[in-house]
Structure formats: structure tokens, C-alpha cells
Amino acid sequence: MNRRDFLALLAASAALTVPVGRSAWAAGTNGQATDRKLVVILLRGAVDGLSVLPPWSDPDYYQERRRIAIARPGEEGGAIRLDARFGLHPALASLVPLWQAGQLAFIPASGSPDPTRSHFDAQDYLETATPGTKSTGTGWLNRLLATLPPQGSGDRALSLGATQPRILTGTQPVTILGSGKAASRQSALDRPRIASAFDALYRGNDRLSQQYRIARNSREQLRMTLESEMDEASRGAPLPDGFAGDAQRLGRLLRGNPALQIAFADLGGWDTHINQGSGEGQLANRLEPLGKGLVTLARELGQDWDKTVVLVMSEFGRTIRENGTGGTDHGHGNVMWLLGGNIAGGRIHGEWRGLSERYQSRDVPVLNDYRAILAAVLTQHLRLGDRHLASVLPDIPVTAAGWQLLRS
């Protein structure tokens, strides 16, 4: 779908539109402070959405995936029934209480309208929110940070992982936390004598000095949380490695810290071209810790869970038909996940037409543009106004037409 089609679609659905933005959203206005938080989790490598959210009542699903389909609810290793159309992968059973509490929702047939099946281009588009344009230098989370009024002082955005992801690239400073136990290791920056010599090396206005000073300040700020973690570790109760540990660390850093508004984490290993398995197997083994990590994050956030939305997304979906090696190849539409204490959860959002209508005769189409979904989250959750929304999501008109993703 190109921009014109997109506009046409919006116009066509105008009657159903729930208008948002400055004029319509009573509680929020442009530039008003919000103590709400947004966590984005990017599954790099294109997770197989048809396994995450198997459309178990669709006969095509079992026709096309004789070896890797998730069995029907009630069968052995079968999907967990969510509604009359969809189930949940059994390895994500830990998420069921969130679903039942109305704090988990899915949006199938969603993603970027750009046709690329290149992981790297598609991830870039997801992170810049400008599908089809590669030259965009900033990520949408960083642009969002530039429009959100700060809450007090201190770090505003955290990223897990060793490097700065494209989604957080831009003018606003971001704290890169690192992942795993190494994140809480002692640093030379904690040693006053050495650190003061470093201060003298990096006292200029150049880029390195700027980054150095951010690191120095964050280190001070994070020290309390990290030190308590180190204490725990020394008492023989270390955080688990992997996503569960990262999620716990993230939750603790976010909880009760109004200044921290944005967090990002990415997880790889979803490019299952071969032997992806079904109820059990390679993909199941990746999904299970992800589900448990998300539950941990919700728990650690405590009362701030109500103020948080977690978005889980991936660059594109995978082929409807399994390939010749027990896996799936690069497809198009995928599933977006939405979690949070105050989301309109326990339901499947957006348009879905079953597996018979296909993009390029092979893939799930994108019926729900990810930017419209982001727009809904930004306006309804973070209360972004029209003008600011346009700077975060430059390619689309300022609207979240038809989407009601938060409880009103």
C-alpha cells in the first residue's frame, strides 16, 4: 500500500474513526507532562507470527503447514484458545493470566506496507518509521523523546544491548545499559582516581566527550539499582542470564522512576528457515523465555504497570506455507503484541481476513499499518498531540483512525 492508498483507506474509514489528537483527546494536550512509559521490544529476524498467534480455525493453516502448524486447542501440544479464530503458542502459556486480566492484546496482519523481504531494510523501516526511505537518520523512539516533556531530571531512555539501536538514534541522549550480567559489573568509571583522569581527557565538546559524560552521569544514577543487584548477586541470588534477567533489571530501573519514560530491548534468533518445530522445538524454545520475561517485567513494574505499554514487534512475518526444510521463509504481514496494565486487552485488534487472501499469492497481507498502531499508542497512551505526532511519524496523517488500544 502506498501513501495515497493509505490516505484513501483512512478517508473511507472516516465514519468509523475515533478522532484523536489535540481536538479530541480531552485528558491530554500537546506538550503536557505524562508519567506514562513505553517499552518497545523488537524481535529481530522476523518471528513467525502464525506460530505466535495460530489462526486455528482456518483450514488453510493446517493445509499449508503440515509439519509445523501449532495443533488445535485441546489437542496435544496444541494452541491455547484465545477466541474463535486465534490461539496462543503453548510456549507462551505464561502470558495467559495477562490475557485473562485484559492486559495483553494482539494485532495480526500488521506491519510495514513496504514490500521488502530484506531483514535489514525492514528493520530499518520499523525503527525509523519511514518505510521505503533509507536515508532517515533518526529513530522514531528518539524523535518521540524529543517531543515528550521530561519528568524531572535524570535518564529518560534506556536501551538494553551493547550498541545503540537505530530506533533510538537521534538528538536526545539515551542510556545504553548493556545486557546480561555484564551490565552490572564494576567499571573503571566507579574508581574515582581513574575516572577523574578520564574526565580530564574528555572535557571537550566533541562527540566522544559528550557520550563520555552521558556514560558518567548514567553510571552515577544507575549505581544504586545496580549496586543492590550486585549485593544480591554476592548473596548467591544472581539475576538469571538472558531475557528474564534483563527484563527484571529493566523493571527495577523503570519502577518508581518517573524520569525514565522509554525503554527498548531487542532479541534475535527468530529467522527460522529450518526445523522451526511446532508446539515444541526451536521456535518454542525462543518464545518461552520471551513470554516469561514479559511477565517478569510486568511484575517488577508493580504499580507502574498501569502506566506502561509494552509493544512487541518484528520486521515482517513468514511465509504461510512451510518451506522444504521444516521452516518458513521471509513473508510480509506479522503480529504485533501489546501489553500493559491499562490497555484494551484480552482481545484481538484490527482487521483479519483469514489466510485465503494473500499478499503476492504467498504471504499474510498487511491490513493494519504499524504506523497507525503506533499513532494510537502515542496519542492514547502518551497523549501526544497532532503536531508532535507528525514529527514522530512523519509519513502519515495525524490519526489513529479506528484504533482504541487503551481503556478509556
Partner 1 sequence: MLRHWSALLVLLALLPLAHAASEDHNQQTALFVLNRLGYGPAAGDVTRVTELGARDWIAAQLQPEGIALPAETARDFAALAQRQRQALSRLSELASAGRPDTAEKERRQALRREIFREIAEADLDCRLQHALRSPRQLEELMTEFWFNHFNVYSGKAEVRALAGAYEREAIRPHVLGRFRDLLGATAKHPAMLFYLDNWQSAASGSRRSEDSGLNENYARELMELHTLGVDGGYTQQDVTELARMLTGWTYDRRALVSPESAFRFNPRWHDTGSKRWLGETISNQGLLEGEHALDVLARSPATAQHISRELAQFFVSDTPPPALVSRLARRFQNSDGNIREVLQTLFASPEFWQSARTPRFKTPYRYVISALRLQGITQPPARPVQAALLQMGQGIYGWPTPDGYKVSESAWLNPLAMQQRLDFATQAGLGRLDREAELANPERMQAEITPLLGVNTLQVIRSSPPALQPVLLLASPEFMHY
| Sites of contact with partner 1 (CB under 8 A) | 44-45, 67, 116-121, 161-164, 169, 173-178, 182, 187-189, 193-194, 197-198, 200-204, 206-209, 211-212, 214-215, 218-219, 268-269, 271, 273-274, 323-327, 329-330, 360
The minimum distance between CB 193 and partner 1, in angstroms, equals 8
* Cβ distance to partner 1 smaller for residue 50 or 82: 50
The CA angle 33-39-42, to the nearest 5 degrees, is: 145
The minimum distance between CB 122 and partner 1, in angstroms, equals 10
The minimum distance between CB 329 and partner 1, in angstroms, equals 5
* Cβ distance to partner 1 smaller for residue 174 or 265: 174
CA pair distance 193, 191, nearest whole angstrom: 6
Residue 198 is placed in which grid cell? 578520564
* Cβ distance to partner 1 smaller for residue 170 or 251: 170
The residues, any chain, with a CB within 8 Å of residue 368's CB and separated by 6 or more, are: 107, 108, 109, 110, 111, 336, 349, 350, 351
Furthest CA-CA distance within the chain:
68
CA pair distance 235, 364, nearest whole angstrom: 50
The minimum distance between CB 178 and partner 1, in angstroms, equals 5
CA pair distance 166, 266, nearest whole angstrom: 11
Pairing of strands 262-267, 175-176: unpaired
Residue 277 is placed in which grid cell? 518445530
* Cβ distance to partner 1 smaller for residue 177 or 374: 177
Per the CB < 8 A criterion, the answer to whether 298 and 255 are in contact is no
The residues, any chain, with a CB within 8 Å of residue 181's CB and separated by 6 or more, are: 233, 238, 239, 241, 245
* Cβ distance to partner 1 smaller for residue 72 or 273: 273
The minimum distance between CB 197 and partner 1, in angstroms, equals 6
The DSSP output letter for 280 is S
Residue 55 is placed in which grid cell? 489462526
The phi, psi pair for 348, rounded to 5°, reads -100, 125
CA pair distance 255, 244, nearest whole angstrom: 16
The minimum distance between CB 270 and partner 1, in angstroms, equals 10
Residue 312 is placed in which grid cell? 512487541
The minimum distance between CB 264 and partner 1, in angstroms, equals 13
The residues, any chain, with a CB within 8 Å of residue 217's CB and separated by 6 or more, are: 155
The minimum distance between CB 319 and partner 1, in angstroms, equals 9
* Cβ distance to partner 1 smaller for residue 69 or 88: 69
* Cβ distance to partner 1 smaller for residue 136 or 399: 136
* Cβ distance to partner 1 smaller for residue 120 or 149: 120
